[in-house]
Structure 1
Amino acid sequence: MPPPKLRRRPSLLAGAVGSICLGALLGAWAWTSTTNTQEVLAARHTIERGTVITAQDLERVRINADPALAPLPGSSYDDIVGQRAALDISAGTLLTAESTAEAVLPPSGMSVVGVALTPAQAPGVELRDGDRVRIVVTPGEGAAAPSGSPTFSEAEVVGSHVDQATGQLVVDLLVPHVDAAVLAARVATGNVALVLDSGER
């Protein structure tokens, strides 16, 4: 007696093939999701500028890799603990290289004063952090030149950038705390010029 013929059920076969394909797709998605993420550092709660960062302030989180972002990797956890916050860091914010510093600016006893200068008030060479400069008081419009040596304030450059709206050069100057008010008052008049002194030590 011949053996019975097996019936092929197309619906079952199609279902099995579909399940295999779906499993493969889910596996590929899971693998891609894992490989396209990175572990980075984030603030567990708000960290105020100038405070020492502790282990309780940080947490490791995983985010999708994005070339537009440059957060600190989770592996830098031990290096960041003990540094100071260079700016206010809100809770949940990803930390970057600009978020921390070994020392706070300005340090104790010092102040930072900003001065906006036109091209005629500043030297043509590029200013760099650490440059020693003098802010010289100049005569106001229509005023005669001073007969004696002009008044000036000594300072150190700690930052500079060009204001895109005005085209002026904005320079951040580090000065002793006791001199900050006087320098700020002189700068506010607009009658000043910046002189770059020798960088030789």
Structure 2
Amino acid sequence: MLLITTCALAGIALVQSVDDRAQVLVVARDVPLGQVVVEEDLALAQISADPAVATVAADQADAVVGQTATTPLVTGELVTMSKLDSAPLPEPGHQLVAIALRPSQLPAQGLRTGDVVQVVSTPGEGGEVPTQLPPSVAATVLRVGEPDMDGITVVDVQTPETDGAVLAARVATGRIALVVEAPGGGA
């Protein structure tokens, strides 16, 4: 009798949990940071989620299409508004600069989207140590790529448009290092 009652209660709970499923948006294909989300980037999924889990209801797709991805969106993950913004990247008045860095030019803790950094000019290997502060450009990390076969990591940074060309010229020399000022954009 106890076994029958337990099975019946488990069956009722299962049916109720299926009824509590909601249709939400998921990422249908990878969306790189800074790319505008289009309808083909979205898919629907039925989930039963805790209310504390951030989701976007399927009927809110129009609010997502046209938004800019503020972090890379990976296929299969739940769509959340915290990873989207209506402003394009780079922000108005800013420029996007790609920096290819060797492991020795990066902090050991790594970099994250939102890190505020100084890109500092260095004298290069065997160069003299400067007696004055070397030139630097402030930037915000937008994306950190995966290291390639040679260990080179490409980091996309956003900098004021007045500094973009200067930074690109310094990056081209390869004689730079990154100094993290505010991890994750914190103060």
Q: TM-score range by the shorter chain?
A: 0.5 to 0.7
Aligned twin of 1:152: 136
Partners in 1 of 2:59 and 2:156 — Cα distance?
33
Partners in 2 of 1:111 and 1:130 — Cα distance?
15
Aligned twin of 1:72: 43
Where structure 2 has 5 or more consecutive residues not aligned to the other structure, the ranges are: 1-22, 27-33, 45-57, 70-77
The reply on whether 1:127 has 2:98 as its aligned counterpart is no
Counterpart secondary structure, 2:165: helix
Whether contact under 8 Å (2:68, 2:89) holds in the other structure is no
The percentage of counterpart residues that share the same residue type is 37
Q: CA offsets, 1:108-141, max 9 Å, x none?
A: 1111111111111111013111111111100133
Q: 1:185 to 1:79 in 2, by over 3 A?
A: same
Where structure 1 has 5 or more consecutive residues not aligned to the other structure, the ranges are: 1-37, 42-48, 60-69, 87-95
Q: Among residues 160, 166, 169, which one is paired with 1:182 in the alignment?
A: 166
Partners in 1 of 2:94 and 2:137 — Cα distance?
14
Aligned twin of 2:89: 105
Return the offset for 1:145. Answer: 1.5
Read off the aligned partner of 1:195 and give its amino acid letter. V
Match runs of 1:135-150 below 5 Å: 135-150=119-134
Whether contact under 8 Å (1:72, 1:97) holds in the other structure is no
Aligned twin of 1:196: 180
Q: 1:145 to 1:164 in 2, by over 3 A?
A: same
Partners in 2 of 1:85 and 1:171 — Cα distance?
19
Q: 1:58 to 1:118 in 2, by over 3 A?
A: closer
Return the offset for 1:189. Answer: 0.3
RCO greater where, 1 or 2, for CA within 8 Å and sep 6 or more?
Answer: 2
Task: Please give the TM-score of this superposition, normalised by the length of structure 2.
Answer: 0.58
The reply on whether 1:171 has 2:142 as its aligned counterpart is no
Cα RMSD, aligned residues only:
3.4
Partners in 2 of 1:191 and 1:150 — Cα distance?
11
Larger Rg: 1
Counterpart secondary structure, 1:162: coil
How many residues of Structure 1 are paired with residues of Structure 2 in the alignment?
A: 133
Aligned twin of 2:51: none
Partners in 1 of 2:39 and 2:126 — Cα distance?
58
Q: 1:179 to 1:78 in 2, by over 3 A?
A: same
Q: CA offsets, 1:163-186, max 9 Å, x none?
A: 333211221111001110000000
Return the offset for 1:107. Answer: 1.4
Task: Please give the TM-score of this superposition, normalised by the length of structure 1.
Answer: 0.55
